[in-house]
Amino acid sequence: DAGITQSPRHKVTETGTPVTLRCHQTENHRYMYWYRQDPGHGLRLIHYSYGVKDTDKGEVSDGYSVSRSKTEDFLLTLESATSSQTSVYFCAISESGGLGTEAFFGQGTRLTVV
């Protein structure tokens, strides 16, 4: 298994509070990603990083920010949580974006916003 650890694994928070999810990797992969999984939508890309301090938006980035100060850590912050952000969040890593490489996923964080 790829060395990816997501924390926390489960969280319940109140509407309007900030929340930070952490993804830690031990593979020294360049690329890191945050996805959310919702029924009827599969997984959708929120933000990704292509190096330390280098990040870019994905398909559903509104209401989220990210930071990557070290190769091994990628943080996802919900600035002011809303009920629509109740979801399962997956971190992924990949060595490159080229053919023959695949993204490895963490075990997920189930976030409930009440």
Partner 1 sequence: DQQVKQNSPSLSVQEGRISILNCDYTNSMFDYFLWYKKYPAEGPTFLISISSIKDKNEDGRFTVFLNKSAKHLSLHIVPSQPGDSAVYFCAASEVQGAQKLVFGQGTRLTINP
Give the residue among 55, 54, 1, 50 at the shortest CA–CA distance from 30. Answer: 50
- Binding part of the chain for partner 1, among 11-19, 31-39, 65-73, 79-87 by CB under 8 A, reads 31-39
Minimum distance from residue 82 beta carbon to partner 1 (Å):
23
82 part of the interface to partner 1, by CB under 8 A: no
- Indicate the Cα dihedral angle 35, 39, 10, 6, nearest 10°: -20
- Binding part of the chain for partner 1, among 11-19, 37-45, 61-69, 78-86 by CB under 8 A, reads 37-45
CA dist., res. 77 & res. 97, Å (int): 24
CA dist., res. 98 & res. 78, Å (int): 30
| Interacting residues toward partner 1 by CB under 8 A | 4, 31, 33, 35, 40-45, 48, 50, 56, 58-59, 90, 92, 94, 96-108
